[in-house]
Amino acid sequence: MINLQNHTIILASNSPRRRELLEMLGLEFTVIPDTSDEVIAIDLTPAQAVCKLAVKKAINVSRLVSNCGIMENTLLSFPEPENQDATLPFRTPKSAKPDAQDAIIIAADTVVYLDGKPIEKPVNEANAVGMLKRLSGKRHTVYTGVCVLSGTIRSFGAEATDVYFRELSHEEILRYVKTGEPMDKAGAYGAQGRGALFVERIDGDFFNVMGLPLVRLSDMLKSFGIVL
């Protein structure tokens, strides 16, 4: 396992996929999820919307563990990208160093977008069937916002990956939904599970589709003194 010295890492997510990915990297961490409602801002670009959700999760969990009094309005302002589909680069004050006693919180939020509109997690099986029918034979984009927060120091950014589905029959959609795999996943499928049978190709970070872009996260953690 990676020696974190005085740092404690907290994963602000209940996602089994994100836990598996951090474990794969050899990180020791504690899971403290944010249980507040997720509301996707429709007035923001996809990259901005997922960043806002990730930052909100990190702030909520930070308040739970330390009552550090971070104000949301100091963290949730976003520049307007020239390209509305552009991802946001991670941003950290160059001179900032986290306090060794502060926990380092990793938060993420993943949303699937089809034709510029978000497709969230299905609320029931019929909803999952409808989502998969919409994705059938089309390209969609998976956006994941990531925030790393320690005290008042934060870094956030978003990754985008294009996923291409083959044409799906009604019967195979029903069979897949009956497995239960789609029910806790954005877009109603898991590319790391049986949903892989629907994916013709992927352009971008595969781990982003799983819910945590590892290259981007690794770069962000370097700003907090953690080299993977």
Asked if 109 is an active-site residue, the reply is yes
**How far is the C-alpha of 135 from the C-alpha of 94, rounded, in Å?**
41
Q: Can you state the percent helix, strand and coil of the chain, rounding each to 5?
A: 35, 20, 45
Tokens representing residue 170 in the block: 């009604």
Instruction: Evaluate whether 150 touches 224 at the Cβ level (below 8 Å).
Output: yes
CA angle 147, 34, 134 (to 5 degrees): 80
Among residues 37, 109, 115, 162, the one annotated as catalytic is 109
Going by C-alpha positions, the residue among 143, 199, 132, 144 that lies closest to residue 169 is: 132
The distance of Cα 11 from the centroid of its chain, to the nearest Å, equals: 12
> CB within 8 A of 185, min separation 6: which ones?
121, 195
Dihedrals φ, ψ of 54, to 5°?
A: -65, -45
Catalytic residues: 109
